[in-house]
Every structure is written in structure tokens, then in C-alpha cells.
């Protein structure tokens, strides 16, 4: 709650605009500059997105024109790794106003999260943009980079957010965007570029460690994976006896040459083995429960794990802003309450480029924070520790997903992938002696922990740089 003089209300009446911390920040910025964003704009235009019935005529393959979306904008520059493309006719006719040239500044103006995330197009670039951003043409690349660095700072982001309107999907109109006061300081570009360079180096080290976990386990188990064959017609054709298919599946993936070679490599490893189902004490499917807002003293509230919480790089991310709490009867909760060393299996979900079957491991510190259950798209197994080390089984199952063994244990209907649980439980688990299982699990966990630390270090480098930039912009750098 805050009070404001009637005479200070200018144009807008929404309270967010007049919050004391935002007003104080803008007053401090205005003491350090006479410029507004409009002073740097030579040309400005917004993009568009096709209607559903236009999409076939609109989009193209990778030989088309890059069509930049919000997810392609990053403070470090354009990330076109997951870019879509439009055809030249659409680019030149329907979207001729929003053609992006090299050195143009691209600014996000609608959507959740940070407002005004900015990127500068590479010097040799031709593309277009969707309706959630604008292109701003300045006099040269240096100016675009200076403005981008400012808008990506915490100060620029707060001033942009202050001007946004709307609730669940805030937006900046053009006049609001143009009115953002801008402090020009050439040094902040170098500070942030240096920070992003160090961040990328840390992230590359982290990714290398994560990539090496699979190689480490494969080497430790003596598995000799087949070389990746060219996927030409001769390598995709194979024959199988009809008797091998009786009572089984008819889709070709299960009988493919690639899958058979992977299985042969595992079977030839020099260790004892059991089927997964032979080492599972008990297993159960999850439950979605009821809405957490329901008032009933007999219901138990707990954080319910979904596929959304599965982290492809690490383990479970239970501290994100999308977690869901659900309520259960005592009988239902007792059935699906998670314990330390439980293994969760994603049995439904996945995507076009991500097979279902990811796994997660329940650790003590998770249970210290939350009471945990899991949704109906997840399956829980509990390993008999007299037969295998649970941490090792988790690492092994994760390896099987990474090398695509799990990919042939699934069906796909209506865009959702479903794990064939009978086949999943029937897979072979290689079992070295318990001491070696522990050694493998500990080493893999240490590699993953170090990768996580490197990622945190990378984020801290950027946060520290942003704090330095704020001091530089407001003229109070020590």
C-alpha cells in the first residue's frame, strides 16, 4: 500500500506504474540522462504471426527466411538453434514492413517474464519477426549494442516493466517503449560481453561433464557401443523371421538393426544381469489427486511431481515457479508417498525429439523440504537393496534413455508418447559387484554435482556483472 498526490498522476491510473521503488528508480535514471529510447530510433516496426489457416502457405524448411520468435531472443544475442522459417513470398509481401537487417535491435514487447529482452541481429542477417517483438533500426551497430545492453540490464528491464499493461500477458505499446529513459555508457557493453563470455565457458565445461557421464558408465561397464551407421536405405532395410514376432509387436523399431546392435552390445558386457522387474520391491502408478484449494481437514496437501519437474541435465527441479500442490485422502497418499531412494519413471508425455522414459531419483534433501507425491503420468519403483544399489540402477536407467534404448519401448498416440511398462520392466540391468555399483553411482553423481556448480558459477558471473552495470549507470560505482 502506498499514497500518491493526485497531481503526480499523469496519463495512467494503474497503481503498478506508481510503486515507490519504480518511481524512485526512474527519478534516479532521469538525473543521469536526457535521452529517451525514441532518440535512437530511425525506424521501428512490429511483426505478425500467421493465422492457423495460413500456416501451410506461410512456413518453409530451413532453406527459407529465419522467422525470429521470443524464444530466439537472449541478452547474449540471437539464438537460432530452434528457429522456424518462412517462405520468401511471405517475407517480401505479407511481412515486408518487419524485414530484419543486420545490426537491427530486436525487442520483446509482450509475454510473461522479463519485458524488453533485446538482441542485436548479426551483421550479415536477413529475417523477420513475430508479433511479440519489434525491430528498431538505429544509426549503426554500436548504438544498437549500447541500447540492447541497457534494456537487458536490471534497470532497463524494470523501466520497461513499469510501462507494461495487462495482467497475465503484459505488453508494451510503442509509445511506452519509446518513452523509456536511456543512459548511454559504452563501458557496459564490454562488461556484459566479458561476463557472457565467461558464462559460456563455464556452461561449456558443465555440458562436457554431463556428456561424459554416459561415456564414463559405458566404459566402466565394458559396453562397446556400435558405431553410428549412415541412415541410408541399405542400413534401414532388415529382415526378421515371422516366428520372432508372434505374440509381440509389429512396429519395425523394435526389430531394427540399430536396436539389435545396442542390445547385443549390452548383452556382451562381462557382468551378471537381472531384469529390472526382478529387483523391484514394489511399484505403483501416480495419482493427480484434487485441487489444493479444496478445504477438507481429512485431505493431505503435498507437492506433486510431474514430467515438468524432470530436469534433463540434472535430476528434479522442485524449486521452479510451475510446481503444483495437490490434495489426497490419507489412503491415496500412503500409496504414493515418496521415500528416499525411490526412482520415478516418466511413463507418458515426451515430445517429438524427446523420448518418454526419463528417470529421477528421490534424495533426502527433497523430502526435508516437501511432502512428495507424483502424478498419473509418472510410475514409481522401489529397488530391493539386497539385489542392487538404487543409486546405480537410477544411473543405469538414465544411461539407457540417453543411448535411445528406451525409445523402442514406447508407443505414440495423438502426439503423446507412452512407455510400454511390460517391456520397460523386462529390460536387462547389468550388475557388477555392489562395491563397483556404488563406485559408479558416486562418481556419476559427483560429475553431475560439479556440472551443477559450474552452471551456478556461470549465473553468478552475470548477476555480478549486472550489479556492476547498475552502479555504472547510476554514477555511484565505487
Contacts of 49 (CB under 8 A, 6+ apart): 130, 131, 132
Residue 92 is classified by DSSP as I
Question: What is the Rg, in whole angstroms, of the alpha carbon atoms belonging to the chain?
Answer: 27
CA dihedral 292, 294, 295, 298 (to 10 degrees): -70
> Is the pLDDT at 452 greater than 50, yes or no?
yes
Q: Are 414 and 344 in contact, with CB atoms under 8 Å apart?
A: no
| Lowest-pLDDT range of 186-190, 355-359, 367-371 | 355-359
Element (H, E) at 172: none
Report the Cα 458 to chain-centroid distance in Å: 16
Please give the angle made by the CA atoms of 447, 452 and 453, to the nearest 5 degrees. 95
Tell me the Ramachandran region of residue 348: left when phi exceeds 0, alpha when psi lies from -120 to 50, beta otherwise: beta
pLDDT (average), residues 198-223: 95
Q: For residue 259, what pLDDT is reported?
A: 73
Q: For residue 18, what pLDDT is reported?
A: 55
Tell me what percent of the residues of the chain surpass a pLDDT of 90.
58
Band (pLDDT 50/70/90 cuts) for residue 478 is very low
Q: For residue 461, what pLDDT is reported?
A: 97
* pLDDT tens column, 108-145: 998 767 778 899 999 989 999 999 999 999 999 999 99
* pLDDT tens column, 228-286: 655 555 556 656 665 555 545 556 566 566 777 788 888 888 899 999 999 999 999 99
| Lowest-pLDDT range of 245-249, 300-304, 429-433 | 245-249
pLDDT (average), residues 52-80: 83
Q: Which residues are 133's β-sheet partners? A: 108
Whole-number average pLDDT of the chain? 87
Q: For residue 256, what pLDDT is reported?
A: 67
Q: For residue 242, what pLDDT is reported?
A: 57
Amino acid at each position: 500500500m502506498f499514497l500518491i498526490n493526485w497531481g503526480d498522476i499523469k496519463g495512467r491510473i494503474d497503481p503498478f506504474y506508481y510503486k515507490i521503488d519504480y518511481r524512485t528508480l526512474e527519478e534516479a535514471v532521469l538525473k543521469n540522462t536526457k535521452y529517451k529510447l525514441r532518440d535512437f530510433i530511425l525506424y521501428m516496426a512490429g511483426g505478425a504471426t500467421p493465422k492457423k489457416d495460413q500456416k501451410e502457405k506461410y512456413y518453409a524448411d530451413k532453406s527459407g527466411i529465419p522467422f525470429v520468435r521470443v524464444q530466439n531472443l537472449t541478452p547474449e544475442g540471437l539464438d537460432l538453434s530452434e528457429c522456424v522459417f518462412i517462405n520468401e513470398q511471405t517475407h517480401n509481401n505479407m511481412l515486408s514492413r518487419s524485414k530484419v537487417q543486420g545490426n537491427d535491435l530486436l525487442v520483446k514487447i509482450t509475454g510473461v517474464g522479463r519485458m524488453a529482452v533485446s538482441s542485436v541481429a548479426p551483421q550479415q542477417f536477413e529475417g523477420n519477426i513475430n508479433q511479440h517483438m519489434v525491430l528498431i533500426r538505429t544509426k549503426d551497430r554500436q548504438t544498437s549494442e549500447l541500447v540492447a545492453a541497457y534494456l537487458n540490464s536490471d534497470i532497463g528491464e524494470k523501466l520497461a516493466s513499469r510501462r507494461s499493461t495487462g495482467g497475465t500477458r503484459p505488453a508494451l505499446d510503442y509509445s511506452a517503449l519509446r518513452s523509456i529513459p536511456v543512459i548511454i555508457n559504452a563501458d557496459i557493453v564490454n562488461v556484459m560481453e566479458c561476463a557472457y563470455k565467461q558464462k559460456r565457458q563455464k556452461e561449456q565445461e558443465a555440458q562436457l561433464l554431463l556428456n561424459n557421464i554416459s561415456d564414463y558408465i559405458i566404459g566402466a561397464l565394458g559396453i562397446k557401443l556400435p558405431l553410428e551407421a549412415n541412415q541410408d536405405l541399405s542400413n534401414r532395410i532388415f529382415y526378421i523371421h515371422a516366428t520372432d514376432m508372434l505374440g509381440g509387436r509389429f512396429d519395425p523399431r523394435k526389430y531394427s538393426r540399430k536396436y539389435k546392435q545396442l542390445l547385443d552390445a549390452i548383452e556382451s558386457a562381462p557382468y551378471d544381469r537381472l531384469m529390472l522387474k526382478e529387483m523391484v520391491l514394489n511399484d505403483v502408478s501416480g495419482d493427480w489427486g484434487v485441487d489444493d484449494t479444496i478445504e477438507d481437514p481429512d485431505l493431505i496437501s503435498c507437492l506433486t511431481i510431474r514430467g515438468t519437474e524432470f530436469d534433463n541435465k540434472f535430476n528434479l527441479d522442485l524449486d521452479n515457479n510451475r510446481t503444483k500442490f495437490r490434495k489426497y485422502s490419507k489412503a491415496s497418499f500412503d500409496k504414493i508417498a515418496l521415500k528416499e531412494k525411490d526412482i520415478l519413471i516418466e511413463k507418458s508425455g515426451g515430445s517429438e525429439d524427446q523420448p518418454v522414459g526419463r528417470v529421477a531419483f528421490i534424495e533426502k534433501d527433497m523430502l526435508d523440504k516437501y511432502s512428495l507425491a507424483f502424478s498419473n503420468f509418472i510410475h514409481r519403483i522401489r529397488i530391493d537393496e539386497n539385489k542392487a544399489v538404487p543409486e546405480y540402477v537410477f544411473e543405469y536407467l538414465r544411461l539407457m534413455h540417453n543411448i535411445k534404448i528406451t525409445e523402442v519401448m514406447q508407443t505414440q498416440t495423438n502426439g503423446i508418447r507412452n512407455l510400454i511398462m511390460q517391456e520397460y520392466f523386462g529390460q536387462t540391468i547389468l550388475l557388477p559387484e555392489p562395491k563397483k555399483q556404488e563406485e559408479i553411482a558416486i562418481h556419476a553423481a559427483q560429475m553431475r554435482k560439479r556440472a551443477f556448480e559450474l552452471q551456478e558459477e556461470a549465473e553468478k558471473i552475470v548477476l555480478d556483472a549486472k550489479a556492476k552495470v547498475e552502479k555504472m549507470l547510476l554514477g555511484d560505482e565505487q
